[in-house]
């Protein structure tokens, strides 16, 4: 079992971030060597390796405070660790030293997307990254998130397909296409791509998780349970799976099974964990619109990361047209 930096709900962020390419004029300098070690650790994406990468990039910066790739690598690593303020600071420093670092523009866009819900600003950063490096797969996958979050799902899928053309053997890229297809509600295609990603890397917990979510939306509940069980083997303590299973059983009409899991997730939300949107999804599934909206309002107040996909999340279809739901979208600049 791999110890990852993310649970299932957010593990896809780690899947979408490859190590940035280090452009350097002297690969033998202490700064370049430390930065290269940081990139190797960053590529592994486990929690321990990310912390070690931070130390390597810090060592590179201590050796040469003008070495822009070290700041870019540090920015990416901090973004993976949800340190958005630190990621922004490091990305801006990298760009002040070298404005043509595509990976720094992409990381800045990633921060604007998830920390600020600044769709226009993030899109501009990703476009600039792709202008500088058209063959980079990651900015395309991140750009696709902006597109799908703002209702342009077909464009999102097209960008993700281009990323697969660029990096056809990278599991995280293939999985990224699968996630885009899920949000586009092309569930069989999503499962096909996610299965292909698992052929490349069977330890991608989030691929199993999204296969389960896709099958729930198709009312193929036995297949969904099997997918969530596979995800649980990889990450037994992931609370996102409890909410996913609670939603599944609610959709399947097994209210007692749903409630047992639901109350565990609700307790996490009450204690301040970012699970208010997860709770809202289960309440919507059992037809309790008022409670679902109340929990979504709490999720918005807490700036929960999963709300990036609020406009397109199928769990909340029953809430579309509700004034309180529309108000949340408007506050997030996701609705006129």
Q: Quick: pLDDT tens for 170-191.
A: 898 999 999 999 999 999 999 9
Q: Answer whether residue 250 is part of any domain.
A: no
Q: What is the pTM of this model?
A: 0.88
Q: Dmax of the chain from CA atoms? A: 63
pLDDT in tens, 263-308: 999 999 999 999 999 999 999 999 999 999 999 999 999 999 999 9
CA pair distance 100, 118, nearest whole angstrom:
22
CA pair distance 126, 89, nearest whole angstrom:
17
DSSP string of 268-295, one letter each residue: HHHTT-S-HHHHHHHHHHTT-HHHHHHH
Q: Answer whether residue 317 is part of any domain.
A: yes
Domain count, the chain: 2
Q: Is 192 exposed, middle or buried, given 0-12, 13-18 or 19+ CB atoms closer than 10 A?
A: middle
CATH of the domain at 53: 1.25.40.10
- Quick one: pLDDT band at residue 18, thresholds 50, 70, 90? very low
Q: Answer whether residue 52 is part of any domain.
A: yes
In DSSP terms, 46 is beta-bridged to 4
Q: Is 35 exposed, middle or buried, given 0-12, 13-18 or 19+ CB atoms closer than 10 A?
A: buried
Range of the structural domain that residue 74 is part of: 19-115
Query: Which of these three, 89, 115, 141, is where a domain ends?
Result: 115
Sign of CA dihedral 217, 226, 232, 107: negative
């Amino acid at each position: 079992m791999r110890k990852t930096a993310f649970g299932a709900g957010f593990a896809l962020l780690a899947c979408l971030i490859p190590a940035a390419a280090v452009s350097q004029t002297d690969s033998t300098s202490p700064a370049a060597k430390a930065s290269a070690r940081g990139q190797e650790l960053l590529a592994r994406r486990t929690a321990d390796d990310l912390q070690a990468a931070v130390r390597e990039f810090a060592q590179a910066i201590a050796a040469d405070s003008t070495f822009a790739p070290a700041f870019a690598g540090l920015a990416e690593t901090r973004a993976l660790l949800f340190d958005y303020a630190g990621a922004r600071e490091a990305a801006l420093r990298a760009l002040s030293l070298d404005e043509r670092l595509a990976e720094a523009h992409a990381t800045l866009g990633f921060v604007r997307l998830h920390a600020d819900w600044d769709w226009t600003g993030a899109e501009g950063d990703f476009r600039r990254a792709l202008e500088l490096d058209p063959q980079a797969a990651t900015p395309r996958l991140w750009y696709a998130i902006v597109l799908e979050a703002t209702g342009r799902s077909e464009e999102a899928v097209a960008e993700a397909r281009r990323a697969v053309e660029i990096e056809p053997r990278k599991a995280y890229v293939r999985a990224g296409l699968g996630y885009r297809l899920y949000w586009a509600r092309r569930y069989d295609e999503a499962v096909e791509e996610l299965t292909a990603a698992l052929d490349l890397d069977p330890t991608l917990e989030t691929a199993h998780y999204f296969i389960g979510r896709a099958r729930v939306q198709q009312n193929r509940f036995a297949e969904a349970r099997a997918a969530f069980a596979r995800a649980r083997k990889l990450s037994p303590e992931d609370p996102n799976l409890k909410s996913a299973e609670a939603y599944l059983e609610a959709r399947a009409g097994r209210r007692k099974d749903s409630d047992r899991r639901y109350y565990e997730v609700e307790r996490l939300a009450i204690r301040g964990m970012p699970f208010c949107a997860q709770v809202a999804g289960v309440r919507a599934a059992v037809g309790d619109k008022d409670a679902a909206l109340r929990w979504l309002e709490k999720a918005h107040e807490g700036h929960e990361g999963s709300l990036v996909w609020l406009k397109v999340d199928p769990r909340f279809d029953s809430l579309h047209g509700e004034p309180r739901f529309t108000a949340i979208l408007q506050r997030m600049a996701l609705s006129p």
